[in-house]
Structure 1
Amino acid sequence: MTARQHRVATSFFFFLLVTLVFLLSVSAGGVMSGEAAEGRQLFNLKPSKLLVFGDSYVDTGNIRKAISRSWKFPYGLTFPGKPTGRFSDGRVLTDYLARFIGVKSPIPYKWRKIGYKSVRYGMNFAYGGTGVFDTLAPLPNMTTQIDFLQQILTQNTYSAWDLQSSVALVSVAGNDYSSYLARNGSLQDLPAFISQVVNQTSKNLIRLHGAGVKKVMVTGLPPLGCLPATTASNSFQQCDQSLNQLVTLHNLLLTQSVAALNNATGGPTFVMLDMYGAFMAALQPPPNGNINNNKSALKPCCVGTSASDSCGSVDEDGGGRKRYTVCQDPEAAFFWDGVHPTQAGWRAVYSTLKSNLMQL
């Protein structure tokens, strides 16, 4: 081989090597943005998996099609263009947090056997409508969701090392309280129930850490008094401060509980994500807020055409006529339906939560 041929061969080998590295990075979850790479560097354990537990704020497709409108259009309108079981027009909190640590959004638990190759990114055990206790929805509460993880471990889907290199996300968005009020109809005894919810949440966090998960994120409650389902009675003009005071109590107790758990483990094992502050920051009018809609930030983008209809409702006579309307620009709206943010809303929440994530 001549010197020139050697140089050409060496250059070609180098080109193949660079191309291979690029392709491997794509197959492992896409080329990480600067934001995602930064997140991985700040996680001391450099997590390779995300394990998700909770409710509709993080569910990416576990809830059954037969019982949820999240599998009907216009859900999924923005991403990926069709319903996927996400309670939004697009991505939800799970998707953004997965991107932060540099992995693909974890596969829903119910698809684990079909998409077995994707379990390397983690697994999503969350079901929309659930709580730490049983709710009105006949779905697995958080204790059962953690049981599912334990079963996965006995099946050797994950090893002890897999859990040690994983981060858990626990979402408690308020379904326990809506179910409690539906059953009892009074706020009078709710503070005592809040203590029960927080105590059980703490037990769940301890259980996940005891299973081998090194880092556990838990969400505080969002401002339930600002959700469209709450503000509809005043034409989406103002939040219910009485309800938000109860939210503040929940978040205070949870903050104290997380601090106690970290003292017991001797480090920042548990991190509470300030959903209340993130929601309120995004709902501020420009330039302080993250959403362009400065007229009716509390109004949902997708609404039913009557009081008995909701987003995704259609005529039940077989005609399929829509019984809902969708705003012109979901990117300018924070709320998608009566409870859930739009993709733009979740992106705004995530941008505020990043300061919390840096603690991990």
Structure 2
Amino acid sequence: METPIPYAFKNSSNIQNGINFAYGGSGLFKTLVDGRNLTVQIDSFEQLIKQKVYSKSDIKSSIVLVNSGANDYATFALKDMNFLGIGKFMKSLVDELNVNIKRIHSLGAKKIVVSLLQPIGCLPTASVISLYYSCIDLFNKVPRNHNKMMLQIVEDYNKEIGEPVFRTLDLYNAFFSAIKTIQKNRKEGSRLMNPLEPCCAKNFAGYQCGIVDPKGNKKYTLCEKPELSFFWDNLHLSQNGWRSVFKQLEPSLSQITK
């Protein structure tokens, strides 16, 4: 199976392999990135159907992956700072996600996979509090509660329509299992990096991975062997990290693609 092409290249001849409508840093609501949110992405999907780029048969036989929400929580944490209001925000976010996935179903999709949120308390930007020793469980309560609500919505909606149209992709437990496996292997002598520590990290306050000052001085540090890291920077997995998570997801992915 080939990788779906980005929506920006929709005029390519490879559209029958699928299209990736995602916009990096975007979410369900307005985030720190001024990009196409999930609603606009679905608008684009619908437009292609109206233009008969994809037939009803194409849509019915396709798998639609919906992965959104993490950037919304990050924006809330950085801009609002009122964690007492996280419950209300979570409810509005889950309601919006619910509207969006039902809309995708109304467009003819018969197999829609919704990603559950990863454990944000394990991101280096959070685990730095423990000096990268352990995940921060207090922060992980947010994705756990979010995922619990989404699992209930998916279960209820599948019962309502009488068939398992909606599935979930459990990134939360896949991340945890991958991290625990690496930690266990390290105790047994593996050369892999501490999975909670970023390979590329800021070296000066106010800077981030990849930043170079006008004189060409790097404002970040890089680990000796990036291929042995789990997290690339404070938020994103490395290639090895995603490979580790994929191994955990492989059994469920084989069920989804049947």
TM-score (norm 1): 0.66
Please, which runs of 5 or more residues in structure 2 have no aligned partner? Answer: none
- Would you say 1:106 and 2:7 are equivalent positions? no
Aligned with 1:301 (options 196, 199, 206): 199
Report the equivalent of 2:52.
156
Q: Is the 8 A contact 1:281 1:288 kept in 2?
A: no
Could you say which residue in structure 2 is the equivalent of 1:342? 238
Letter aligned with residue 162 of structure 1: D
**CA–CA distance in structure 2, aligned partners of residues 203 and 144 of structure 1:** 13
- Count of residues in Structure 1 that have an aligned counterpart in Structure 2: 252
Are residues 1:351 and 2:247 paired? yes
Structure 1 Cα separation of the partners of residues 154 and 42 of structure 2: 19
Given the two structures, how large is their TM-score scaled by the length of structure 2?
0.91
Equivalent residues of 1:130, 1:140 under 8 A apart: yes
For the pair 1:244 / 2:137, whether they are aligned, the reply is no
1:130-172 Cα distance to aligned partner (Å, 9 max, x none) = 1111212111110111001111222222121211121111112
Distance 2:28 2:81 in 1: 20
1:173-231 superposed Cα distances (whole Å, 9 cap, x missing partner): 51111112223212111012112211211211111111111111111111101101112
Q: Distance in 1 between matches of 2:125 and 2:92?
A: 25
Greater Cα offset, 218-227 or 165-174: 165-174
What per-residue deviation string (whole Å, max 9, x for no partner) do you get for residues 269-291 of structure 1? 111111110001011113499xx
Q: 2:170 corresponds to which letter in structure 1?
A: D
Structure index of larger Rg: 1
Residue identity matched to 2:238: T
Deviations 1:19-46 (A, max 9, x none): xxxxxxxxxxxxxxxxxxxxxxxxxxxx
Q: How does 1:78-93 map to 2 (within 5 A)?
A: none
User: Which structure 1 residue ranges, 4+ long, deviate > 4 Å from structure 2?
Assistant: 292-295
For residue 296 of structure 1, give the secondary structure of its aligned residue in structure 2: coil
Contact 1:222 1:247 in 2 (8 A): yes
Letter in 2 for 1:259: E
Q: Is the 1:173–1:220 Cα contact (8 Å) retained in structure 2?
A: no
> Is the 1:271–1:359 Cα contact (8 Å) retained in structure 2?
no
C-alpha distance in structure 1 between counterparts of 2:129 and 2:116, whole Å: 25
CA contact (8 A) 1:332 1:344 kept: yes
- What is aligned with 2:86? 190
Q: Which residue, out of 107, 128, 141, partners 1:211?
A: 107
Q: Which residue of 1 aligns with 2:96?
A: 200
Q: Per-residue deviation at 1:293?
A: 5.5
| Contact 1:153/1:159 (<8 A) preserved | yes
Q: Which runs of 5+ in 1 are unaligned?
A: 1-102
User: Alpha carbon RMSD of aligned pairs, Å?
Assistant: 1.9
Q: Report sequence identity in percent.
A: 37
Q: Secondary structure of 2:112's partner?
A: strand
Q: Which moved more, 1:265-274 or 1:337-346?
A: 265-274
